[in-house]
Amino acid sequence: MTDSCVHCPLVPRRDFIAGAFAFAAGLALPVRFARGVRLDTDEHAYPIPDADTVSIDKDLQVIVVRYQQKAYAFNLSCPHQNTALRWHPEDGQFQCPKHHSRYQPDGIFISGRATRSMDRFAVRRDAANMVVDLDQLYRQDQNPAEWGAAFLSL
């Protein structure tokens, strides 16, 4: 033992290990908490259209639709293989250019290789805007109740 440690208290091995474990668990807690609970929301506001229309935000990968007195926000990706969907105004449908899955303006699957409807984001109204929660994406097959309620009545 060196002279610099003469007055240092000795910690039993068991206490040292227990303390090290508690310290490591304390460091891991914020990481698990941050992954399990949204600490910061990722929301984006879009003006609610005055008439039935479709607009696509390519930067955020969001499709905003007003259709039959309802407003929706969809993921731009086809649920089959994540190819960007396209709006065909002449048919009034979305279509996947890769495997030709087709969807109604409210996101309901019509035909093609996909096995479910378009994925919807959670939305809420804020005055004349539709606020889209980009952290809350609902799949029709996994979250049927949330998917069915993910729209604004106008």
The CATH number of the domain holding residue 51 is 2.102.10.10
* pLDDT tens digits for range 52-106: 999 999 989 999 999 999 999 999 999 999 999 999 999 999 999 998 999 999 9
Examine the domain organization and report whether 28 and 60 are in the same domain.
no
Half-sphere exposure for 93 (CA within 13 Å, toward CB): 15
Examine the domain organization and report whether 78 and 102 are in the same domain.
yes
Give this prediction's pTM: 0.72
Cα dist. 139→12, 91, 128 in Å?
Answer: 54, 24, 26
Examine the domain organization and report whether 52 and 124 are in the same domain.
yes
Q: What is the average pLDDT score of the chain?
A: 81
